[in-house]
Chains A and B, each alone.
Chain A
Amino acid sequence: MIRAVMVMNTQGKPRLAKFYDSQPIDKQQELIRSVFGVLCSRAENVSNFVEADSIFGPDSRIVYKHYATLYFVLVFDSSENELAMLDLIQVLVETLDKCFKNVCELDLVFNYSKIHTILDEIFFGGQVLETSSAEVMKAVEEISKLETASNSITLVPKSVSGWRGR
């Protein structure tokens, strides 16, 4: 299964972190730090895999990809295929790119909620559920439609109830 998804910038600031084997919050920070420690010491043009037994315990691997100022990291165990995970990072980035039109770090910074929506469509409880970025986009668009719809309804009753209260 997939144990964690992380996106961090080249300074080690986390931009997205989701752990599928529930980790306590201070442990999460430590894990992200140690992952960054490993990644930043690696040169460009080397393989994208890191053995992560020392960080995440036995049977864990890291695959990462470096795009511009961001590292995309997946932590997984032996039930996943390394190259498939690499493809999956590609899928995630493609989806983000479609969603934000030339995605950059700032998009990730300001769209916390939307990115989690995307993530939740691709990964589910540590399993990969969707590998087509078009399908993911479809679901994400519907969710945001639903959200705006529910919000637009909210404004009216709230103000009404507010007035009625007086």
Chain B
Amino acid sequence: MAGGVFSSYYSSSSIMETLFQRTLEDLIKGLRLQLIGESAFVSKAIDEIRREVKSTDPHTKSTALQKLSYLASLHFHDMSWAAFHVVEVMSSSRFSHKRIGYHAASLSFHDDTPVLLLITNQLRKDLASTNEFEVSLALECLSRISTPDLARDLTPEIFTLLSTTKILVRKKAISVVLRVFAKYPDAVRVCFKRLVENLDSSDPQILAAVVGVFCELASQDPGSYLPLAPEFYRILIDSKNNWVLIKVLKIFAKLAPLEPRLAKRVVEPICDHLRRTGAKSLMFECIRTVVSSFSEYESAVKLAVVKIRELLVDDDPNLKYLGLQALSVIAPKHLWAVLENKEVVIKWLSDEDPNIKLESLRLVMAMVSESNVVEISRVLVNFSLKSDPGFCNEILGSILFTCSRNVYEMIIDFDWYVSLLGEMSRIPHCQKGDEIENQLIDIGLRVKDVRPELLRVARDLLIDPALLGNPFLHRILAAAAWVSGEYVEFSRNPFELMEALLQPRTSLLPLSVRAVYIHSAFKVLIFCLHSYILQSESITSSFPDNLVLGVSELVLKRNMLEGSDLTTCEAPSAHLSEGFNPRNQSYEDLSIENGGDRTINHGQTSTRAFSEKNIFTYESIINLINQVELALGPLTGSHDAEVLERTRHILCFIGLIKGEITECLVQKGKTLESEEMKASKIIKLMSDAFSEELGPVSVSAQQRVPIPEGLVLKENLDDLETICADIQVPPSNLFSLGSPYYGEEVGVSSFGLQNKEESEPSNEATSLLTEHRKLHGLYYLALEKNEIVGNDYPPANEPKLQDSPKNDTEDLVKLTVQSLATNKKPNHAKTRPVVVKLDEGDLVTITAKRPETKDDLVSGAVREVLLGSDTRTATSQSNPSDKSSSKRKGKEKLNVDHSELKENLGVSETPKQENPSSRKNKHRTNGKERGHKSPGKIGEEREENGQKGKQKSSHRHARHKARHRADAPLNVVSQTPVIPDFLL
């Protein structure tokens, strides 16, 4: 009774539901009307669906699920909650419902969906259905979601379907194999043979599907599929279907590098296709195959380049783009191909299509050599001025990258390069600040001879107040400031540098950069004072009865010996004088270095324009000190530890020496008294400290430092966190970005300083300071300087629009004609300066890491099937060792593959020494077996004798193989990877 009531209640309600249920179409219409807004409408609809999907009526349920699928697919609503309902609808006997269920499953299920366990039987049933569309649904579902369990349980069904007569089903079964193999490698043993048999199918659809599967498989581990080469070769020759041919070409592109004899055999048919085909897709695939895998076949490459040329001059931008891509693939090995087409390549540099522009830029950069780097860079920089910001930065980035490659191996004239860096910094769209910063400092550290020019570039950057407003330049300015402090001895006018470092607009800089400025100002100050003292000493030293300290005497002597006059100059009132000509190569040659740390190159073109005048007068020094005090005074209230610390240093130093200097220097030219010597002693000490030369540090330097005994590095430092909780980590360290060797040094030391400084005023003092700041905010510097004033300054420089892009392209063409066509070593006017290079760690090693084969299991199983080895344990046993070995020496594809192969087979062979067939094997694989015994040396061995040995060995057993194939293709006894007959 009760049951009857319920059922009648439900069924009547289901009729109501069915009648009034919104269909998918209603839902879409409602969504489009947008009466209550999309999200509100959707959440209402979802509520409805939640109710409807629980209905017992299959129609209501499936419609609800269909709506849900729609919302999940196009409105991205979660539908994982409905997983169980999906399973219910899938199991419906009606096709339309089943379809909705399967669609929802493939949309929302993933490998971790719990209800997957429930669908195995349903899938099995549908895979065995007589209705081919039901089978399709199940296969489709399996191709999306197959877990190892599903794959294992359904392998027999897939195996059956692989030879079904229904084309529609069979091609899907073939495709699904890919997924099944990946999840359940043991399926290979069951299905692989049937899969291979499908390669003989005459049906183009089947063939396309199976070749597609092998293309995917081969891309993961090509070596295992070498034995199938004859089948692929036959398809390459016979097939008329472009889709199939493209896939076969892709397979050969993977196989050919592994087996030279195969390449030799295949290259001709590929060229035939290339000559004959009218389809651009096939033509391009042939080209790509040739340029990527057959680049040592001269005639094939020539043919491909002719065809590339056709693509390049085509009107279709797609073909242009692909042509350029093909060229850049071939560029490293056959640069002539690029040179032949350089006019076209350069022409497309100004194409409207960003893809094409980018590709041609890459090709232009590929053409850069020592002899033309200057000209090409010049033209490209001009080009970048006229480009949109994105492309401009692409250009700058590729110039920076190309020029710095392998420790600037391309650069001969470093003076030119640093001035180019300066110029690039001023390009309005330039966003390569970090890279330019790194290179400026790196070059300074590595190349001694370029330092004067570097200083000039830095000075020009620092002195331009407009640049301070551009946040992209701040990192470059930091580098410039560092250079100006570090190499101040090359400055013609250090006072000018000081003024630049202390200019009011430095308040626009971030604090970390500002700290660099202040520290550089410190260095400049020390330099000036030191020079002044030396100079006054040299004047007084003419008096024989002078009290001169031993040290300064020594210095003096050295100076005299070197014959360098202590240059003098008039008062520095004209620091920023208009007449200052930065092009003038003259710089001051003071050579005041007493420690011999720096050897200043006297051979440079120093004209000593100011040698007769004295820069360092008493007034100028006093002015300088006052200037520093005035500019840095306000910063003693800075909240940034770095800035505060450095300001304090410099001000304390001034406090220390100022009194004496002002007193003693009043009696200028008179005998120096011992009291004055105290100040000059300090100055000398400081100067000594700063004149220690900084060099590049190897990346691996840290590793070479022995760990002191008793130092526990892995101690748990959790307690520290509670103590240091209120200490902020500074936002960014000085130059720690990008340039690791430098960063280590400076970063660490500055960190040390900071912590020392911070721990002091952290608690009470800072609270007092902030208090004070609140009261007298007026007298403090603004905190967020950039944000307040940073934006309203004009861009650094107006772009120079002198010549049209057309001129540029013509220039570039001319240039490449001049310097590339000849391609001779130019005789440089300048000899390349010494560039400090460090050990291996310094060189940029470009290692093409190959993706590690993730499914060793699949390829292992494939080999087993193809080579007929019957030991099931082989793959699983050797697998871990395979992985480790491939990780260890992932250098070259070839080596790894072969070693893996050998290890695989080795494991299976060793236990059955008595087996005659395996002994035969041993005998056959003469050259290779040795490789197996010493896996470490496989690479060398192969290169030495592998070629010959292999050829011989396979020669010999090719006949064996043929016989085996003839009588029992399935049960071939374990063999080494034999390369099939046709190759010989």
Interface residues of A (CB under 8 A from B): 1, 14-18, 20, 22, 24-26, 28-29, 42-43, 45-51, 78-79, 81-84, 86-87, 109-110, 112-113, 116, 120, 124-131, 135, 139, 142-143, 146-151, 153-154, 158, 161-162, 165-166
Contacts and interface: CB of A to CB of B under 8 A. Distances in A.
A146 B7 contact: no
B355 A47 contact: yes
Interface in B82-102: 94-97, 99-100
Interface residues of B, number: 76
Contacts of B14: 162
A110 to B, nearest CB: 6
Contact of A125 (B179, B243, B318): B179
B95 A48 contact: no
Contacts of A83: 280-281, 284, 318, 322
Interface stretch (B67-75, B570-578, B618-626, B916-924): B67-75
Nearest to A142: B133
B205 A130 contact: yes
A47 B78 CA distance: 36
Given A50-B355, A129-B172, 5 more contacts: A47-B321, A83-B281, A112-B73, A129-B175, A165-B12
B178 interface: yes
Nearest to A146: B95
Contacts of B111: 22
A165 B78 CA distance: 36
Contacts of A146: 95-96, 131, 133
17 contacts: A14-B74, A16-B74, A17-B74, A22-B110, A24-B110, A46-B354, A49-B318, A79-B216, A79-B250, A81-B250, A113-B24, A125-B175, A128-B212, A142-B133, A146-B133, A147-B99, A158-B57
Nearest to B18: A158
B739 interface: no
A78 B317 contact: no
B335 interface: no
Contacts of B58: 154
A146 B354 CA distance: 48
Which 10 residue pairs across A and B have the least CB separation, nearest first?
A125-B143, A83-B281, A46-B353, A165-B11, A47-B317, A150-B95, A147-B96, A47-B321, A29-B76, A150-B94
A49 B216 CA distance: 22
B216 A1 contact: yes
Contacts of B122: none
B276 to A, nearest CB: 17
Contact of A165 (B7, B25, B205, B352): B7
A48 B321 CA distance: 9
Contact of A154 (B79, B94, B175): B94
Contacts of B208: 128-129, 131
Interface in B447-488: none
B215 interface: yes
B96 A151 contact: yes
B7 A158 contact: no
B215 A26 contact: no
Nearest to A112: B70
Given A25-B72, A26-B76, A84-B281, A161 B355 contact: no
A20 B284 CA distance: 26
Contact of A127 (B212, B219, B285, B353): B212
B15 A162 contact: yes
B178 A125 contact: yes
Given A47-B355, A162-B12, A22 B145 contact: yes
A127 B206 CA distance: 12
Nearest to B6: A165
Contacts of A22: 110-111, 144-145
Contacts of A81: 246, 250, 281, 284-285
Contacts of A161: 11
B354 to A, nearest CB: 7
Contacts of A130: 205
Most buried by B among A18, A124, A130: A124
Contacts of B8: 165-166
Given A83-B280, A116-B103, A125 B140 contact: yes
B95 A139 contact: no
B355 A128 contact: no
A151 B32 CA distance: 27
Nearest to A149: B95
Most buried by B among A82, A127, A153: A127
A49 B322 CA distance: 9
Contacts of A165: 4, 7-8, 10-12
